[in-house]
Chains A and B, each alone.
Chain A
């Protein structure tokens, strides 16, 4: 399967869209063998993967966040690495460092040893346990898809996707992610508790001798092609206008901003938020069987896209207002 996309005719576009839906369904089904329930979370992770974005999974312990990402790494034939963030971790631990090695002729030389960040799919587990210094080591790789160590710059292979997890409950010994890094995540997905029926399935699968082995159903080339298909989806002018107004409405002091936002929001979404809205809207439009983005796509993905980009000020926090409340007000 070629990773390039040729959709000059309506028939090719229909074929590409159908292919996208079929690949999405295959991966989703394979991951669903391991992950019980959490359909919205699985869809969000796949949407971030296809939209060439990164995703931050937030949820209390035991909900399967790490299992979801590791299952995704198994279902797609990608180089997968997992980084367990700890407070004593240094940037060199994840980016790599120069080490002294002995060559075959008996001589020695300094070589760069890659860190776990050099992979296609990176699971940054408990990312808020690392210090901001180490967290900031991800900034360049997430935005520029490259790593700079000394005078060396390493281009990361496409597709590159960081899937980070964090626990919102334990605040002891954790470091909240800086806004610059939060903005680089396409989605912030809040993982909730499973339903009652899902608990039964989880019990049967995890407390018996049943072993589930996931097999790869897709590969890197397919993912790259899916990303090309997503970017080929056109956006009507009125949808662009809606997306821009939606993001501007989260910025305090703006003409599109409601009074509630002016009162309780300290920091609104950035232009990166508009890009994320449109990209996520394109994925949703394809999954809904359409060939162009609609306003309803923007409204559907807006909470996941804007949740971590809207910073509520002290007054809002004291009133119990969350960023989700602000987004609901903006979408009204």
Chain B
């Protein structure tokens, strides 16, 4: 490969890398847009939802109608938010494709087994042998093919665009709701300063007005605080309970029903929920003076409408509220407070209202409570005298090894129904074995004493007196030598003895080795001859 061909190949590889890089960038951008346009469509909902929340807060906060930001601006923000998000993400996308990656992509597209990338690597090296040059030559035709190649990147799975398209009508719907809410709040008779745009008023139909505006005798706006408006009888359940209570109360005159709508809700219910029954039968004239217990009664009535996550908190608040109620009852009446109940667990669990009970509480229960209070003359049972029933558990007591004094088999808060009478005498009731015994001969006591060690005399045993090893000692390798090899070995050692008389004298003192034992004298790699 001459210099011209090498230059041509370099140019080809450069072209391949540039084209591949551009195509990879375009593919990445296209893939990014395909992946993120559905998400951007979903983001269309963000601004309208925010607008709706702002309007809801304004509506509940008692502000007057209108929007903080003009409606065209809301519309503009709705469109600009997803676009801006897309542009931001696109700008952060890593678009720079390095040469190596582009060449690998081209190789993969061409199926050239990385020949172009390899040639590009070898061309940059200072020294090259025949195999490298052959590899470079091998890549030249692939580089020519790759100059005009169009990379077809694998299409990634797109998110469900049709589902994301649903966000467009949903956005329009929410925006319409925002407009509706803005117009609805405009008609509220609130004297607070108007914050909003007059265009929003124009889009609200004049027919949309709250029912309170139809009141021929509108109350002065300064008398209705936001807290009182929360207590307004929008809840039909509360309204029915109020009506029914008004009907049941004999002391209230007939025209009280008519005037009930004018009365505050808490004022009427206060007489029912008070812990003092005598005050519940109080004159209507007293109901017109809200007191501290009135607020407590309001909070009690609102509890059933509280959602589940707030129940525990409301329950605690109610417990706290009941304490001053008991104190009030103690002042007004000598009996009639639940705080006098005996502080037993069973009693508390049976009498404490569970969240489910709170859900079931309705106006019928209110009536039942009234009847009970009336039948008892408003006197609550003295819970202090109530004693916790004994446990039915018949266990004799393994842990503390003491019998349970209350275990007489009667009553008790156990989950299962226990047997009574004769049934409890049947041996089906588990009775532990009471026979005691010791598994050993008794307690063993070990006492350590410190003594001085004494030396012991032992007789040295000469090695010659050791007995010959016998018995099973495990597998020992005893290769059977051929007779000529035995003779050879024997003659070898005899020669060795002749050469070294010192060894001969030592050998003579030792017991003579039988000729058969010479079989083991074949030396291995580590068993060098002891001569």
Residues of A within 8 A of B (CB): 7-14, 16-17, 88, 90-92, 95-100, 102, 108, 110, 149-150, 232-234, 236-239, 288, 290-292, 294-296
Given contacts A108-B492, A295-B114, contact A9 B525 (CB under 8 A): no
- Give 11 A-B pairs besides A236-B122, A294-B118, A296-B113 with Cβ atoms closer than 8 angstroms: A8-B129, A10-B1, A10-B137, A92-B525, A97-B523, A102-B488, A150-B525, A233-B131, A234-B135, A236-B117, A238-B121
Given contacts A13-B129, A234-B132, A238-B121, contact A294 B113 (CB under 8 A): yes
Report B88-139 residues with CB < 8 Å from chain A CB: 100, 104, 113-115, 117-118, 121-122, 129-135, 137-138
Decide if B491 touches A108 in the complex (CB within 8 Å): yes
Interface centre among A239, A290, A294, A295 (most CB of B within 10 A): A290
B191 at the interface (CB under 8 A from A): no
Given contacts A8-B130, A232-B129, A290-B113, contact A97 B524 (CB under 8 A): yes
Decide if B492 touches A291 in the complex (CB within 8 Å): no
Contact of A232 among B1, B131, B489, B529 (CB under 8 A): B131
Decide if B526 touches A7 in the complex (CB within 8 Å): no
- Separation in Å of the B40 CB from the closest CB of chain A? 32
Decide if B492 touches A7 in the complex (CB within 8 Å): no
Majority SS of interface residues in chain A? mixed
Decide if B122 touches A234 in the complex (CB within 8 Å): yes
Contacts of A149 in B (CB 8 A): 525
Decide if B130 touches A10 in the complex (CB within 8 Å): yes
B522 at the interface (CB under 8 A from A): yes
Decide if B129 touches A150 in the complex (CB within 8 Å): no
- Separation in Å of the B464 CB from the closest CB of chain A? 30
Decide if A290 touches B130 in the complex (CB within 8 Å): no
Decide if A12 touches B488 in the complex (CB within 8 Å): no
Distance, CA A263 to CA B6, complexed state (A):
50
Report B507-531 residues with CB < 8 Å from chain A CB: 522-526, 528-529
Contact of A12 among B114, B118, B130, B524 (CB under 8 A): B130
- Separation in Å of the A243 CB from the closest CB of chain B? 13
Given contacts A12-B130, A108-B491, contact A294 B525 (CB under 8 A): no
- Separation in Å of the B523 CB from the closest CB of chain A? 6
Contact of A110 among B477, B485, B523, B526 (CB under 8 A): B523
Decide if B100 touches A14 in the complex (CB within 8 Å): no
- Separation in Å of the B487 CB from the closest CB of chain A? 10
Decide if A292 touches B131 in the complex (CB within 8 Å): yes
Decide if A14 touches B114 in the complex (CB within 8 Å): no
- Chosen A-B contacts, 29 in total, with CB atoms closer than 8 Å, are A8-B130, A9-B130, A10-B1, A13-B133, A17-B131, A90-B477, A92-B524, A96-B525, A97-B523, A99-B523, A102-B488, A232-B129, A232-B130, A232-B131, A233-B131, A234-B129, A234-B131, A236-B121, A237-B121, A238-B100, A238-B117, A239-B118, A290-B135, A291-B135, A291-B138, A292-B118, A292-B122, A294-B113, A294-B118
Report B450-506 residues with CB < 8 Å from chain A CB: 475, 477, 485, 488-489, 491-492, 495
Decide if A95 touches B129 in the complex (CB within 8 Å): no
Decide if A100 touches B138 in the complex (CB within 8 Å): no
Contact of B523 among A12, A88, A100 (CB under 8 A): A100
Decide if A100 touches B121 in the complex (CB within 8 Å): no
Contact of A7 among B131, B477, B528 (CB under 8 A): B131
Distance, CA A299 to CA B122, complexed state (A):
22
Distance, CA A232 to CA B134, complexed state (A):
12
Distance, CA A40 to CA B526, complexed state (A):
43
Distance, CA A89 to CA B481, complexed state (A):
18
Contacts of A91 in B (CB 8 A): 525
Contacts of B131 in A (CB 8 A): 7, 13, 17, 232-234, 291-292
Closest to B136 in A: A10
Distance, CA A8 to CA B133, complexed state (A):
9
B 341-359 to A, binary, CB cutoff 8 A, 1 in contact else 0: 0000000000000000000
- Separation in Å of the B318 CB from the closest CB of chain A? 51
Given contacts A100-B522, A233-B131, contact A294 B121 (CB under 8 A): no
Decide if B488 touches A292 in the complex (CB within 8 Å): no
Decide if A9 touches B489 in the complex (CB within 8 Å): no
- Separation in Å of the B13 CB from the closest CB of chain A? 13
Contacts of A236 in B (CB 8 A): 114, 117-118, 121-122
Contacts of B132 in A (CB 8 A): 234, 291-292
- Separation in Å of the A239 CB from the closest CB of chain B? 8
Distance, CA A288 to CA B122, complexed state (A):
19
Contacts of A11 in B (CB 8 A): 130
Closest to A233 in B: B131
Closest to A150 in B: B525
- For the complex of A and B, 7 pairs with smallest distance between CB atoms: A13-B130, A7-B130, A291-B135, A10-B134, A10-B133, A291-B134, A13-B134
Decide if B135 touches A100 in the complex (CB within 8 Å): no
Contacts of A295 in B (CB 8 A): 114
Distance, CA A238 to CA B119, complexed state (A):
12
Distance, CA A88 to CA B477, complexed state (A):
10
Given contacts A10-B130, A108-B492, A238-B100, contact A290 B115 (CB under 8 A): yes
- Separation in Å of the B122 CB from the closest CB of chain A? 7
Decide if A9 touches B133 in the complex (CB within 8 Å): yes
Closest to A112 in B: B525
Decide if B524 touches A108 in the complex (CB within 8 Å): no
Contact of A290 among B138, B489, B528 (CB under 8 A): B138
Contacts of A13 in B (CB 8 A): 129-131, 133-134
Contacts of A95 in B (CB 8 A): 525
Contacts of A296 in B (CB 8 A): 113-114
- Separation in Å of the A131 CB from the closest CB of chain B? 12
Contacts of B477 in A (CB 8 A): 90
Interface centre among B133, B137, B491, B529 (most CB of A within 10 A): B133
Distance, CA A205 to CA B373, complexed state (A):
107
- Separation in Å of the B53 CB from the closest CB of chain A? 41
Decide if B130 touches A97 in the complex (CB within 8 Å): no
Contacts of B130 in A (CB 8 A): 7-13, 16, 232
Contacts of B115 in A (CB 8 A): 290, 292, 294
Contacts of B104 in A (CB 8 A): 238
Decide if B522 touches A14 in the complex (CB within 8 Å): no
Interface centre among A88, A233, A292 (most CB of B within 10 A): A292
- Separation in Å of the A208 CB from the closest CB of chain B? 42
Decide if B526 touches A150 in the complex (CB within 8 Å): yes
Decide if B121 touches A97 in the complex (CB within 8 Å): no
Distance, CA A32 to CA B525, complexed state (A):
41
Decide if A7 touches B135 in the complex (CB within 8 Å): no
Closest to A285 in B: B113
B 128-153 to A, binary, CB cutoff 8 A, 1 in contact else 0: 01111111011000000000000000
Contacts of A288 in B (CB 8 A): 113
Distance, CA A55 to CA B418, complexed state (A):
76
Interface centre among B100, B129, B489, B491 (most CB of A within 10 A): B129
Interface centre among A8, A99, A234, A295 (most CB of B within 10 A): A234
